[in-house]
Structures are given as structure tokens and as C-alpha cells.
Chain A
Amino acid sequence: MNEVELTQYLLLGAMVFVIGLYGALTRRNTVIVLLSIELMLMSANINLLAFGRFGSAFFIEKADQTGMMLSFATSQMFALFNIAVAAAEVAVGLAILLAIYRLKETPNVDAYDTLRR
């Protein structure tokens, strides 16, 4: 095994996802929680690209070169859309943080419990 394989990328994606999940559950600062969610989205991106590169067994069997290229290009496109959605999410999330900060005077997520009262 001297070649990087699909399983290693998938395991790395799982580790990144788990670290992001732990950060999102334990951190108190809203900005850090948002960045941890970014980490989880990025692990999805790693998986998409790894499957696009190594996973198109159908086209490899048929030796269809344009099909292979098309499938990897499609996975890259998925990752690009994912990045666009993540950028929109961070922009809106930070705007919401600024709006709530004006009301609550603290950036900590456990202070944002107005709906529970």
C-alpha cells in the first residue's frame, strides 16, 4: 500500500467532522461555533472529492475516459456549491451575531435563550 487510498480520505473526513462536532457542542463563543460548523461542511467536501476521484468504478470498468472526467468534474462542482453555501451561511451567521449582540451584550451562545423564557 504505497498509494493514498479512498479509505484514508474518508477516515480523515470522519475525524475532521467529529472534531467540528465537538467544537460546536462545547465552545461558548458564537464565532467559534460557526467556524466549527464550517469544519463539518469541509469534511463533507473532502468526502465528495475523494469519492469523485476514486469512486467512479463504473466508468473505469468501461474505460470511458470522458465519463471519468465528467464524474470527477461533477464532484468538484458539488464541492464548489458547498463552498458557496458555506460562505453565505457564515455571512448571515455573523450578521445575526451582531444583531443579537446589540440586544444581549454578550457573544456567548448559552446566553441566547430568549425563546425559552
Chain B
Amino acid sequence: MEGSMIAFFVLAALTLGGAMMMLSSVRVVHMIFSMALVFLAIAGLYILLGAEFVGIVQIVVYVGAITVLAVFGIMLTRHDAQETSKERSRVSRWLSLSTAVLLFIVLFMAISQTHFFSLGDMSQNGLPGIREIGMLFISHHVYTFELASVLLLSAFVGAIVMAKGDADDE
């Protein structure tokens, strides 16, 4: 019982600390690698919640694919460190900070004032594994599954078409 609490707080501190590092660092590549730390910590949170498969998929997709894609996006575009360190105008920065803080206050009040049923969690009866998720994928939600694959296919074809540009460009 105590161990899961410690693990939760360590992972939450890693998540928030990595996100703060992302916001405070100057160079873009440092931002991407602190983001990879956030992705890993959130994958650990999923595993702590009992969703191992989602955590592993999170590591494969986010840390493996999206971080590499973001590094490619940085490397293929010109970037100077002093250009990224310069912020937008002071007014818009304060405006966005106050928007974020206000939204957090609203969410905090809503979460802390809602009374959730304290029925304990359901881990004592066994958590669903990959088998149950796979059965759901091919039984109840098979159309959604097919739709997701069509979405991914069309998104990647569109990405290739858009990134390739015109053939007579060069």
C-alpha cells in the first residue's frame, strides 16, 4: 500500500519536473528530451494504474516515435538558440499565464468539491490484461478499430504528400 503511494509521488514529481524543465529550458533539443522524460514518467503512471499494455504502447509510440519525429522536425528546420529564447510579447505571456492559472483554479475547485464514491479500487478482483483488451478490440469495437486504422493510413499518406512538396520544386 505504502509502496504504490511512494511510486505515485515519485512519478508525479518526475512528470511535473520534466514539464517544468521543458518550459524553462532555452534550447529546443533540451525541451524535446525533457519531454521524453515526461512521456516515460506518464508511462510509469499508467503501469502503476494497472494498465500495463497502455504504458508499453505509450513508451513505444511516444518515446520511440514521437520524440524522434520531433527531433527530425527540429533538425530539418533552421533554429538558433537565441531566437527561441526570446519570448512572445510580455502582454501575451502574462495573459496566457493567467489563463492557465485560472483554468487550474477552476479545475482544482471542481475536483476537490466533487464527492467521488470511495468504494476502493477494483484491483482485488484482478485487472484486465492484454487478452481482455484484444477481445474488446475485435468484438465490441471492431468498427472503431477499423476506423482508427483508416485514420492512421490516411494521415500518414497525407503527411508524405505534404512533406514531399512539388516534384518540380527543386
Contact = CB atoms under 8 A, between A and B. Distances in A.
Q: Is chain B found bound to chain A in the same assembly?
A: yes
A90 B72 CA distance: 12
Contact of B107 (A14, A89, A96): A14
A103 B127 CA distance: 51
Nearest to B12: A12
Contact of B100 (A25, A46, A77, A84): A25
Contacts of A110: 88
A84 B132 contact: no
Interface residues of B, number: 91
Interface string A53-68: 1111101110001001
B38 to A, nearest CB: 7
Interface string B136-152: 11001100100010011
Contacts of B4: 3-4
A50 B151 contact: no
Given A60-B119, A102-B165, A69 B42 contact: no
Interface residues of A, number: 82
Contacts, number: 253
A38 B62 contact: yes
A10 B167 CA distance: 49
Interface of B: 1-2, 4-5, 8, 12, 15-16, 19-20, 22-23, 28, 31-32, 35, 38-39, 42, 45-46, 48-51, 53-54, 57-58, 61-62, 65-66, 69-70, 72-74, 76-79, 83-84, 86-88, 92-93, 96-97, 99-101, 103-104, 107-108, 111-112, 116-123, 125-128, 132-133, 136-137, 140-141, 144, 148, 151-152, 155-156, 158-160, 162-163, 165, 169
Given A94-B72, A110-B88, 11 more contacts: A3-B121, A16-B19, A32-B31, A39-B35, A42-B62, A50-B49, A57-B119, A69-B126, A72-B50, A83-B58, A107-B78
